Amino acid sequence: MHSALFLIEFGAIILGLGLLGRVAGRFRFSPIPLYLLAGLAFGEGGLLPLGASEEFVAIGAEIGVILLLLMLGLEYTASDLVSNLKTQYPAGLVDFVLNAVPGAVAALLLGWGPVAAVVLAGVTWISSSGVIAKVMGDLGRIGNRETPVILSILVLEDLAMAVYLPIVTALLAGVGLAAGSITLAIALGVAGVVLFVALRYGRVISRFVSSDDPEKLLLVVLGLTLLVAGIAQQLQVSAAVGAFLVGIALSGEVAEGAHTLLSPLRDLFAAVFFVFFGLHTDPASIPPVILPAFALAVVTACTKVATGYWAARRAGVGVRGRWRAGGTLVARGEFSIVIAGLAVTAGIEPALGPLATAYVLILVVVGPLTARYTEPLAARLSRLTGPGEPPGAAPAVRRTPEPVTHGPVTHGPAGASVTARDAGPDREVPRDAAEAREALAAHDAVDRDSVVDRGAEPDREALADPEALRDRDAVDRA
Summarize pLDDT for 11-49 with one digit per residue, the tens. Answer: 888 888 889 888 888 877 678 778 878 887 777 666 666
**Region 66-72 average pLDDT:** 81
pLDDT tens sequence across 321-330: 999 999 999 9
Q: What are the distances in angstroms from CA 184 to CA 80, 161, 189?
A: 24, 12, 8
pLDDT in tens, 248-257: 888 778 888 8
Residue 302 has pLDDT above 80, yes or no: yes
Mean pLDDT of the chain: 75
Q: Residue 360: is its pLDDT beyond 70? A: yes
Q: What is the pLDDT of residue 48?
A: 66
The 10s digit of each residue's pLDDT in 218-252 is 999 999 999 988 887 777 666 777 787 788 888 77
User: What does the pLDDT read at residue 297?
Assistant: 95
Q: Tell me, what's the pLDDT at 88?
A: 80
DSSP code of 103? H
pLDDT above 90 covers a percentage of the chain that reads: 17
Indicate if the pLDDT at residue 291 is higher than 90: yes
* DSSP character string of 256-320: HHHHHHHHHHHHHHHHHHHHHHHHTS-GGGSGGGHHHHHHHHHHHHHHHHHHHHHHHHHTT--HH
pLDDT of 392: 45
| Residue among 6, 18, 54, 115 nearest 278 (CA) | 54
Integer angstrom CA distances of residue 350 from 32, 112, 134, 136, 441: 22, 10, 32, 35, 86
Task: Dump pLDDT digits (tens) for 36-46.
Answer: 788 877 776 66
Residue 72 predicted with pLDDT over 50? yes
What pLDDT does residue 415 have? 35
pLDDT, greater one: 74 or 120 = 120
Half-sphere exposure in the Cβ direction for 63 (13 Å, CA): 17
- Mean pLDDT check: name the lowest of 35-39, 308-312, 453-457: 453-457
CA distance 392 to 388: 12
Query: What pLDDT score does 469 carry?
Result: 46
Q: In the prediction, which pLDDT does 179 show?
A: 64
Of 199, 172, 166, 174, the residue nearest 85 (C-alpha)? 199
Top mean-pLDDT range of 204-208, 345-349, 366-370 = 366-370
Structural element, H or E, at residue 351: none
Per-residue pLDDT at 443: 46
Output 337 or 414, whichever has higher pLDDT: 337
pLDDT of residue 100: 94
pLDDT tens digits for range 96-151: 999 999 999 999 999 988 888 999 999 999 998 777 877 887 788 877 888 888 88
pLDDT of residue 175: 62
Alpha-carbon 338 to chain mean position? 19
Model pLDDT, residue 178: 64
210-232 core/surface letters (b: 16 or more CB in 10 A; e: else): beeeeeebbebbbebbbebbeeb
Identify which has the larger pLDDT, 221 or 77: 221
Worst-scoring range by mean pLDDT, 6-10, 297-301, 377-381, 407-411?
407-411
Which three-class secondary structure state does DSSP give residue 123? Answer: helix
d(Cα 454, Cα 450) in Å, to the nearest integer? Answer: 12
> For 378-435, what is each residue's pLDDT tens digit?
988 888 876 544 444 444 443 334 443 333 333 333 333 333 333 333 333 444 444 4
Write down the pLDDT at residue 152: 83
Summarize the confidence of residues 288-298 as an average pLDDT: 93
Cβ atoms of 73 and 240 closer than 8 Å: no
For residue 259, what pLDDT is reported? 86
What pLDDT, on a 0 to 100 scale, did the predictor assign at position 423? 38
**What share of the chain has pLDDT > 70, as a percent?**
73
pTM greater than 0.75: no
What pLDDT is stored for residue 237 in this prediction? Answer: 64
Residues paired with residue 411 on neighbouring β-strands, in sequence order: 417
pLDDT at 214 over 70: yes
CA distance 287 to 183: 37
